Structure 1
Amino acid sequence: MNTTINAKTYESTAPRQVAFLGLGVMGYPMAGHLAMAGHTVTVYNRTATKSEALCAQLASTGRVKSAETPKLAAAGADIVFCCVGNDDDLRQVVLADTGALAGMEPGAIFVDHTTASANVARELDEAARARGLQFIDAPVSGGQAGAQNGLLTVMCGGDPSAFDVVKPVAMAFSRAFTLMGPSGAGQLTKMVNQICIAGLVQGLSEAIAFGQRAGLDMAQVLGVIGKGAAQSWQLDNRGPTMVQDQFDFGFAVDWMRKDLGLVLDEAKRNGARLPVTALVDQFYADVQQMGGGRWDTSSLIKRLK
């Protein structure tokens, strides 16, 4: 795993005692930025070697230690941040006997950065309130690079008073940290984000494949159309690597399929019609069958070659 954590100019805020659960591609640098911004961080990860690696990497700060369980990591923390894989992982680290809620003190705030369902966000909000705690669902956008650079976009659902406490701390790893509404609104906003990305990447894949078959210099084409109405983050950042057939980085197809599954489940519940999203989800299934489950989402173009 890439363990890069790029320092930035951190906003001045009162140091907090925090915990961070889940040190994957996103969580590892996010936890690191909290320590580098001056907060004391206790970390937990199911694979302890990642916790040990972060503690060693940031030993000079004197502000990072590890714990053997989420409960022990959360003990004494003002804010507990979390970024794990899915709904089931989230329930395990939050609700189990050794989970975070069992160790948190009344008034503490749990902030979940996992891309999960809106239903589990509401479920955990209720569980937190029953213990005198507060919960914010706060999925992120910006990918691995955003996490490493401390420039994630974070979409939050929860109580405004809890949000106001968390925001200045979370700005250590964020460029934007925005309250979208009550519990679940953060997850729903992330679903909108993933719907947009799915359609954009498929359109970009078709455009590049078309241009290549037409014999165009696609690097030049992208440079030109990127200055007009076709410009997007995907075109600027993934277009050139798609032309070069490079996909061993970024946001994995497996993760995108998980996210789109959440989207399609929620659409069944609320009655939204998502024909393009459902189609692109099946295209990603094709990429998985090609062995590309860990390729970046821009690998949709591989189906067209």
Structure 2
Amino acid sequence: MRIGFIGLGIMGQPMAKNLLRAGYTLTVATRTPGKAEKFASDNSALGSIRAVSTPADVAAASDIIVTIVTDSPDVVDVARGESGIFTAAKPGTIIIDMSTISPQVTSELAAEAASKGIFWLDGPVSGGEKGAIEGTLTIMVGGDSDALEGARPVLSAMGKRITHFGPAGKGQAAKLCNQIMVSVNMLAVCEALTFGAKEGLDLNTLHQALTGGAANSWALDVLGKKIIDRDFKPAFMIRLMQKDLRLVMDSAYGSHTPIPSTALAHQLFSVVEAEGRGDDGTQSLARVFESMAGIKEV
């Protein structure tokens, strides 16, 4: 089975490496000139891999194509562009878009793919860079169930929990539910640690206690410790979280769903962005709470 891979960022690179380790032949491309060539050269010892120039070149050489890029317009360009996948993909090709994008855009692309005899699966992921490296991502899938079964071995090389939510777009909707919980949880962690600091508690001791009880979460366990250690390097950048939250806000507006907690998280993250820290990890939100509480930056 020939696999194409488009998008070699923080998540895409380890995911592609896991496909090589699983024995798949890869054809890769990126929108950044030279990046695919360097990746192919650096990872040739892992398996059969070659770099090409365009999504169309990837499509011409692949049975299954994985895409993981930044936003809806990027996916549209990869699929529909002048040298996009749709110009060269053969009927029966399975496209797995693992980006986090608009459910509505996903449904439109899936319908266009179907008109060409191509299967479109949306398979956004959760688990961060660590999950991508370890091949333990949670994958939320929308699209044709038979196509999913055909693609399952490929997905299993990158993730451990693969859940089918229904037709195209439903995987994206599930991922947005994930982002609602992640963002609001991050807000709560920042608020609790700021309160603890103002109360004079040792934050390492507090972290140890809270991670042993009902308050524990990935955000507290991993990102809470980073806040305490003043480590704001990104596992997931604030600007990307904001992109996802804008998708949530747009979808919620369309379905008349109130999301007050998410709206607050979105506004507070925007403060960090306004300070020029959009490339920080989401844990940098703690600085906003500390500033409001009169805690000076260490």
Provide TM-score, normalisation by structure 1.
Answer: 0.93
The answer to whether 1:84 aligns with 2:69 is yes
Partner of 2:62: helix, strand, or coil?
Answer: coil
Query: For the Cα contact (< 8 Å) 2:17–2:46, is it kept in 1?
Result: no
Q: Distance in 1 between matches of 2:61 and 2:225?
A: 47
Matching residue of 1:247: 232
Given candidates 180, 190, 198, the residue that maps to 1:195 is 180
Aligned to 1:97: 82
Find out whether 1:295 has 2:295 as its counterpart.
no
Partner of 1:6: none
Aligned counterparts of 1:221 and 1:54: Cα–Cα separation in 2: 42
C-alpha separation between the residues in 1 aligned to 2:193 and 2:109? Answer: 43
SS of match in other structure, 1:19: strand
Displacement of 1:62? 4.2
Structure 2 residue matching 1:181: 3-state secondary structure: coil
Note closer, same or farther for the CA distance 1:62–1:243 as it changes in structure 2 (3 Å cut): closer
- Counterpart of 2:294 in structure 1 is none
CA distance in 1, matches of 2:148, 2:190: 38
- Tell me which amino acid in the other structure corresponds to 1:270: S
Q: Which runs of 4+ in 1 moved over 3 A?
A: none
Letter in 2 for 1:200: N
Aligned to 2:15: 30
Name the CA distance, whole Å, in 2 between partners of 1:218 and 1:61: 43
Once the two structures are superposed, what CA deviation does each residue of 1:138-158 show, in whole Å capped at 9, x if it has no partner? 111111121122221110000
Partners of 1:76 and 1:105 within 8 A in 2: no
Unaligned stretches of 5+ residues in structure 2: 291-298
Partner of 1:142: 127
1:175 and 1:234 map into 2 onto residues whose CA distance is 20
2:279 pairs with 1:278: no
Aligned to 1:158: 143
Cα separation, 2, equivalents of 1:297 and 1:249: 7
Give SS of 2:139's match. Answer: strand
Q: Secondary structure at the match of 1:80?
A: strand
Task: Using structure 2 for the length normalisation, give the TM-score.
Answer: 0.95
SS at match of 1:48: coil
Q: Residue 42 of structure 1 corresponds to which residue in structure 2?
A: 27
2:167 matches 1:178: no
Deviation for aligned residue 1:30: 1.1
Distance 1:188 1:62 in 2: 35
Among candidates 117, 129, 133, match of residue 132 of structure 1: 117
Aligned pairs for 1:231-242 (under 5 A) are 231-242=216-227
Instruction: Give the conservation status (yes or no) of the 8 Å contact 1:18–1:74.
Output: no
CA distance in 2: counterparts of 1:179 and 1:76, whole angstroms: 27
Alignment deviations for residues 163-192 of structure 1 (CA, whole Å, 9 cap, x no partner): 001111111111212111111100000010
Q: Deviations over 1:42-71 (max 9, x none)?
A: 000011322122211221244110111100
Deviation sequence 1:110-138 (CA, Å, 0-9, x none): 00011000011101101110101100011
SS in 2 for 1:20: strand
User: Are positions 1:262 and 2:277 aligned together?
Assistant: no
Query: Contact 1:107 / 1:134 at 8 angstroms: preserved in 2?
Result: yes
Tell me the distance in 1 between the aligned counterparts of 2:161 and 2:199. 41
2:24 touches 2:47 (CA, 8 Å); kept in 1? Answer: no
1:229 to 204, 214, 222: 214
State yes or no: 1:118 paired with 2:103: yes
- Alpha-carbon separation, structure 1, partners of 2:234 and 2:254: 33
Judge conservation of contact 1:106–1:132 (CA < 8 Å) in 2. yes
Q: How many residues end up aligned between the 2 structures?
A: 290
Tell me the C-alpha RMSD between the 2 structures: 1.0
**Counterpart Cα distance in 1 of 2:279 and 2:72:** 20
The Cα shift of 1:302 comes to 0.3
Of stretches 59-68 and 80-89 in structure 1, the one that deviates more from structure 2 is 59-68
* Structure 1 unaligned spans of 5+: 1-15
**Which residue number in structure 1 is paired with residue 193 of structure 2?**
208
